[in-house]
Amino acid sequence: MFLLIKEKEQAVEINNIFDSHAHYDDERYEEDRDTLFQQLHHNGVIGILDVGCSLTAAEKAVSLARQYPFVYASVGLHPEESRTAVPGYLERLKQLAGCEKVIAIGEIGLDYHYDDTDKPSQKRIFEEQLLLAEELKLPVIIHSRDAVEDTIDILSRAHTRGVVHCFSGSAETAQVYLNLGYYIGFTGLVTFPNVKKVLEAIKIIPFDRILLETDCPYMAPVPYRGKRCTSDMIAFTAAKIAEIRGVPVQELVDAATENCKRLFEI
């Protein structure tokens, strides 16, 4: 437990945090990962889902999950990795998913942010991995950036369940994902200025569909924005959502942790 946030001018301890989306395979944790994990455990973090973005990252995520009891892994190719998808990548993902601590396929999806995006290959890699998730009966972790229409189009034809991670869209978009049965994942982005649209979306998400995540090392919430993010900082993301919904922070954290365990069958 860790005295982390203020609620109604009182400091409160937040615990039972499950970080549903982290990248501790990143080299930025290479030097102090071991002590950091101990510290996080001490600070109320009970579980971490380490999400692989490439084959190399997925392999690392699996080895972290094998090494640390409270770490789980997700394996997949991020849309920005589509171009580097080697023949046989699906087989490799399938092999990695054979580890019992691999609980999801992801992060997968579409990212049209950059002008030189190869949309057809992104769509192909996305659809292939959705089929893999279906075959393995694993939930998916969806990354969608500047590609709402195509993401929804593809997901509505797939037979998968999962979470739309680092949600930054509108209430209308959130509703479409909810109707498709998806959970919505929120990062420190909700604490940034000028995110009115997302705050509107937060108002309409049922409590049993909210997931909390860091996307660390990125997306550290205010007051740590720009710093290397760690899973205990979820308390600030939770505090923002709890404030909007008018519930105690711990209640929100508990609900999100329960949702995470339900979705990923932990």
Binding site for Zn ion (CB under 5 A): 215
Nearer to Zn ion, 165 or 240 (CB): 165
The CA distance from 181 to 208, in Å, is 11
Binning the chain into helix, strand and coil, the percentages to the nearest 5 are: 45, 20, 30
Shortest Cβ 187–Zn ion spacing (Å):
9
Residue type, 142: I
Shortest Cβ 57–Zn ion spacing (Å):
10
Peptide bond into 87 cis (omega under 30): no
The CA distance from 115 to 143, in Å, is 18
Shortest Cβ 87–Zn ion spacing (Å):
25
Nearer to Zn ion, 19 or 215 (CB): 215
Nearer to Zn ion, 111 or 215 (CB): 215
Nearer to Zn ion, 54 or 173 (CB): 54
Instruction: Return all residues near 120 (Cβ < 8 A) that are at least 6 apart.
Output: none
Q: Which residue is nearest to Zn ion (CB)?
A: 215
Shortest Cβ 250–Zn ion spacing (Å):
25
Picking from 11, 62, 76, the residue whose alpha carbon sits closest to that of residue 235 is: 11
Nearer to Zn ion, 85 or 166 (CB): 166
Nearer to Zn ion, 154 or 164 (CB): 164
Shortest Cβ 50–Zn ion spacing (Å):
10
What does the DSSP 8-state code read for residue 146? S
Shortest Cβ 106–Zn ion spacing (Å):
8
The CA distance from 193 to 207, in Å, is 24
What CA–CA distances, in Å, run from 212 to 30, 101, 144, 209? 24, 20, 17, 10
Computed on alpha carbons and rounded to an integer, the radius of gyration of the chain in Å comes to: 17
